[in-house]
Amino acid sequence: MSATMGAQSPSGVTVTDVCVVGLGPANLALAIALKDAGIDVTVLEKEPSFTWHREALLPGTRMQVHFLKDLVTPRDPTHPLTFVNYLHEVGAFESFVNAAHTTATRELFHEYLCWSADAIKDVCTFARTVTSIARCTYSDLWTVRSEPAGAAAGHGDVGPHEVRARVVVLGVGSEPHMPGGVARSRRVLHSANASQLPGLQDRIDGPIGVLGAGQSAAEVLLMLLRRHNGTSDFEHYFHPYGMMRADDNPFANELFDRTGPEVMFGAKDSVRSAWRSAHANTNYGVVDADTLQRLYDTIQDHRLAGGARYTAWRGSTLNAVTEKDGHVEVLLEDHSGKRVLRRVALLLCATGYRPVDLRPLLSDPSLRLSWADGAPLLTAHFEAVDVLGRPIENLLIHGAHAEPSHGLGVGLVSNIATRAGAMASRIKALLRTGRAA
């Protein structure tokens, strides 16, 4: 590794061994593993500081992964950045153990992630949106260009910033998905901003519509029903007959083991695709058993007490949303095929997330990447593949973008620690052989 790595020249160009783009849990685990391996790394993140779905973390909601599957434990249980060590350091170890949970609350896990990110802050640059990744003209390095993001954009730091790196790793994750033609507004929200709901619920007068039947929809409904203020009733629009329970049986959970992505990748296309649809109910459009039960009980409590009315529009499809006279008009097709117009004060779309579109970032013509259905083709080791089917060993893409090839587990938290360890080892070998320069 070169002695000039990680240095910023007066021209604003930083040269590094590895440029990590995006700092969600996946790249946080990777940046820690790279630092552990003594590799020079620069992380670029568009948010002003580390955050993990900050506005979606409703009080009391819990992680859907065991607390031992943190950023490092499955790779190295003796690491200083384990969740258990975090609990110990902040004086929460005994209370967590006393409560005997196998999962952390999302807020607590978020605090743990922030604490871990703080430990690598010397290699992180925040408030920079990466806009392009291209090969350098006169060397084998990559040029990663970024622009100031958010508030930073208006405060002096305006010019494009360049990082030159021997290896680039993209882990830019997913972004909120709205139904086609529906725009977010003050009265039409995505569950990514669910923490705004209590304030809105206190101010509005009229029914609240919730679209979707997955975990976020159930959590939002439960929270709103529990803090019901007497004025809002609830309309719930969703496709299935009833909300469905997440499959968390231990056999299905093996999908999220360290070997899950490798086995998925090795499966022939028809088997991989059958596995993806058979096990979608471990994560998509489903709700954990505890939340489902609490939601059902809360709805019944309201019914008996004459509290909030809850109406399930089962088997319904959303056709259009219009804002009119301080209300939201929701045009549905109901289960019988009839068109129905509902008028609500607020519409919450719990309609999930989609991988960030990588095509603008990777549009450099010299790259000539292979794509399928908008996702880059990858090797078993998360290397991009060119149009001739050759791996580009020093351009790695992981997280949600690898789900088509590596299965459900790679977009979630479950195996980020072991994946990070394996990726760091390969990157170290690549840098040693000089093939990445």
Ligand X SMILES: Cc1cc2nc3c(=O)[nH]c(=O)nc-3n(C[C@H](O)[C@H](O)[C@H](O)COP(=O)(O)OP(=O)(O)OC[C@H]3O[C@@H](n4cnc5c(N)ncnc54)[C@H](O)[C@@H]3O)c2cc1C
Which residues contribute to the site for ligand X (CB under 6 A)?
21-27, 44-47, 52-53, 56, 63-65, 129-130, 171-174, 356, 399-400, 412-414
For residue 262, the minimal CB distance to ligand X (Å) is 18
Residues 6+ apart with CB under 8 A from 188: 182, 321, 323, 328, 346, 347, 349
For residue 287, the minimal CB distance to ligand X (Å) is 12
CB 333 within 8 Å of CB 341: no
For residue 51, the minimal CB distance to ligand X (Å) is 7
Is the CB of 283 or the CB of 298 nearer to ligand X? 283
Strands 310-314 and 375-376: unpaired
Is the CB of 82 or the CB of 316 nearer to ligand X? 82
Between CA 234 and CA 309 the distance in angstroms is 6
Between CA 276 and CA 274 the distance in angstroms is 5
For residue 57, the minimal CB distance to ligand X (Å) is 6
Is the CB of 147 or the CB of 342 nearer to ligand X? 147
For residue 64, the minimal CB distance to ligand X (Å) is 4
Count of CB atoms within 10 A of residue 126's CB?
Answer: 19
* 146 strand-pairing partners: 130, 161
Residues 6+ apart with CB under 8 A from 203: none
Is the CB of 316 or the CB of 403 nearer to ligand X? 403
For residue 73, the minimal CB distance to ligand X (Å) is 14
CA-based nearest residue to 213, from 275, 291, 301: 291
For residue 410, the minimal CB distance to ligand X (Å) is 8
Is the CB of 41 or the CB of 172 nearer to ligand X? 172
Is the CB of 191 or the CB of 316 nearer to ligand X? 191
Residues 6+ apart with CB under 8 A from 351: 176, 177, 178, 179, 190, 191, 211, 212
Between CA 256 and CA 239 the distance in angstroms is 27
Is the CB of 225 or the CB of 420 nearer to ligand X? 420
CB 353 within 8 Å of CB 175: yes
